[in-house]
Structure formats: structure tokens, C-alpha cells
Amino acid sequence: MLYGRIVGWGKAVPDNILTNFDLEKLVDTSDEWIFTRSGIRERRIAPEGVNTSTLSVEASQAALEKAGLIAADLDLIIVATSSPDHLLPAVSSEIQYQLGANCGAFTLVAGCTGFAYALVTAQQFIATGAYRTILVIGAEVISRNIDWTDRNTCVLFGDGAGAVIVQACEEPTGVLSFELGSDGEGAPHLMIPLGIANPPTREALDKKYQYIHMNGREVFKFATRTLARSAAETIGRSGLSIHDIDLMIPHQANARIIELAARQLGLPMEKVFVNIDKYGNTSAASIPIALTEAIEEGRVKEGDKLVLVGFGAGLTWASAVVQFGLAEKPVATGWLATPTRTVKAAQNKIGVAARTAGMRASLMLVPLYTRVSRKQRKEANSNNQQPK
């Protein structure tokens, strides 16, 4: 059995900050109401021209750099989003192209739960030996799906992207256990109604079907029923207990939901990562952004056991127990003894450097190839023929 070790991580958020005080000028609300009900102080909003692909590429480049890899090393890209640049093609292909990767790519939609679904999916490709290096992205420019006159929703959401790179590893690491769930009966509680069932007619647009429609109370009840239960179930499946969990990284939808889940689990808040105050609910991006910040802030160490747990439109939920890095193993002592991990890390670095050099060399040929194929296409067009 192979495991997907997290070897790179990164995030991207737009520079533009929208505070609760800014929102007071847009709708009938207050900083006090928003903060006490949700824990949000501010969120980031992507300006025109910055799309889900833009943020995804930035987060992915950071993750690749952290892993010491280049895009050409990727075997697969999985993108979780509910706000793709276009309905077709999938934004995953746009991201693959912009990154300069040469691999399969697909988009997965599970609302705010998407990243957890995508990470678990990546682990399956790695466990079977199909792929070795997978980029997993959670990204949203959800602000474009928001009715900025609807105070029920516009105060909650924000834009951003997070990405991780998982790489095949023989030692138990990465996703150790998981639970994926869906209850479509709750679909009407959280939806963007526009689509094949509701095409963009004048009437549909007048009903604002292009925006998020949410029954906040029902989603809240669902989340408080589900989060702790799913996390506990998944921790049990990993053979661990709640005391073994170093950090919970929940979907950042509402600080009250997170605090309640922690209480139900018996997990102190020091072991729960919360950054909703800065970004609001970034949907599928919230867990990878939080994970990246937790690592960067030193809250996640080599060998730590994390529980990631999300919920969202569908209604869906997912949780995963994830081991970060490799567990410390006792090593032979003595002046000749070399810790296996050090050797493995060195081997990995040499392998990556060799592959990177090889890829760079072949990438240098790309402009030449592009010029030749462009020339062929031009000639074919002028002869009104299809290029070969």
C-alpha cells in the first residue's frame, strides 16, 4: 500500500480586503452582528480579471516551490471548486495549461467539502500505484456568486485558493482514514439554482438564480449535527483516539459551529485552527488555506496527526485523519548509524533534482516545437487544410 505524503503547500488570496464596516455601507448589518454570529471580521474579494484559475495557479506555484518540484513533475491535478472560470471547459484544464503541466486534470464539485473530497480522491490514485505526484487544489472566487444586496449571504463569503502536493510514500502518512458523505435531500438549503434545470432566462435572472440561495438556519443545524460526528467516526476508523489528534482543521464557515464541534469532540480550542476572522468562508479553499497557514505558523509539525473536516452544499460532508510528514522512528545509535529519513530525504532530493534538470532540458525544446507547429498550422491554414 502506498500513501500520499503532503510534500508541498501554498495559498493565494486577493489583496483587496472587505471589512464588516465596509459591508455596513452596503446592506443593513453591523460589524457586531457579523462577528458575534459568525466570527468573521473581514474577507478578501478578487478584483475583475482575477479568477479561480488565477488564484489556483498562484497557490499551486507556491506548493510546487515548497515541494522542490516543477509543474512537469505532476501526474494529476484535482481541483475542488464551485466557482469555476467557465461552465465549460473545466477550470482544472485551464489551471493545468497555465501551470505548464502535462497531465490529466479534473474538477470536483462538492461545495465547501470539495477539498476534503479531492484529497481523499488523490490518495486513492496513489494507493493503487496509478500516480505518484498529485496536485490538489481548493479554490473559489465565490464573491461573483453572491447577491451583494442579500445580507443573509453576502457577509459570510470570501475568495481564495489553497493547494497541496501529495506524493507516493511507503510509510503510513497523509490520509490515514476518511469518511465521505452526501444527503441530497438537503440540496435546497444551499444552492445556486441556475443551470440546465433553470436556464438563464430573464425570469431566472430576475429571481437571482445565478446567486447563492441559502437557508442559514438549516445549514447551521446540519453542520452542528455532522461535524463532530464525522470527525469522531474518522478518528475511530484510523485506530486513533481524540487524544492522539494534534490539530483539527475544520472548514471555516462559522466560528460558532467550529467551537461547538470542538466541545462535542472534547478537543480544546488550542488544538483547533481558526482563521475565519481574516477570510470568511472561502468554501472549498478554506481547509487548504487553513492548513497552509497552520504549517507556516508552526502549528503543524512533522508526524502530527490532523483531522480535516468539512461540510457544505449537497448537502455534503467529509473528514480525513491526515498525518503530516513521517512519524519519528527510533533509529540505531552509534557513529555509523544514519537515520533512514535523512537518507530518504537525500535520495528524494537527488531524484527531484535529476528529474527537474531533465524536464527543464526538454522544456527548453518547447519554444522550438511551438514555433515549428505554429509555422505548420499557418501553412496549413493558408492552404485551407487541417494541420497534420
DSSP 269-326: GGGB---HHHH-B-GGGHHHHHHHHHHHTT-S-TT-EEEEEEEETTTEEEEEEEE-S-
| Catalytic residue from among 112, 154, 254, 275 | 112
Number of H helices, E strands in the chain: 13, 13
Nearest-angstrom CA–CA distance, 223 and 384:
59
DSSP class of residue 383 equals T
Q: How far is CA 83 from CA 60, 144, 186, 286, in A?
A: 17, 8, 20, 14
For ligand ACO, the closer CB: 217 or 388: 217
Is 112 near ligand ACO (CB under 6 A)? yes
Is 224 near ligand ACO (CB under 6 A)? no
Is 356 near ligand ACO (CB under 6 A)? no
* Residue where the block lists cell 510534500: 7
CA angle 6, 8, 9 (to 5 degrees): 100
DSSP 114-143: HHHHHHHHHHHHHHTTS-SEEEEEEEE-GG
Determine contact, residues 310/250, Cβ cutoff 8 Å.
yes
In the complex, which residue's CB is closest to ligand ACO? Answer: 312
Instruction: Examine the residue annotation and report whether 215 is marked as an active-site residue of this protein.
Output: no
Instruction: Examine the residue annotation and report whether 86 is marked as an active-site residue of this protein.
Output: no
Q: How far is the CB of 162 from ligand ACO (least distance, A)?
A: 15
Is 219 near ligand ACO (CB under 6 A)? yes
The residues in 81-110 that bind ligand ACO, with binding defined as CB under 6 A, are none
Residue 191 parent element (H or E): strand 190-191
- Please identify, among the stretches 31-39, 83-91, 241-249, 367-375, the one whose residues bind ligand ACO according to the rule CB under 6 A: 31-39
Instruction: Examine the residue annotation and report whether 281 is marked as an active-site residue of this protein.
Output: yes
Total of residues contacting ligand ACO (CB under 6 A): 23
Residue in 33, 97, 106, 148 binding ligand ACO, rule: CB under 6 A? 33
Residue in 17, 31, 35, 37 binding ligand ACO, rule: CB under 6 A? 37
| Catalytic residue from among 20, 254, 275, 281 | 281
The mark string for 276-315 relative to ligand ACO (x by CB under 6 A, - otherwise) is -----x-x----------------------------xx--
Is 143 near ligand ACO (CB under 6 A)? no
DSSP class of residue 47 equals P
Between the two ends of the chain, the Cα-to-Cα distance in Å is 43
Could you list the residues that contact ligand ACO (CB under 6 A)?
A: 29, 33-34, 37-38, 111-112, 151-152, 155, 190, 214, 216-217, 219-220, 223, 253-254, 281, 283, 312-313
Which residues belong to the active site?
A: 112, 251, 281
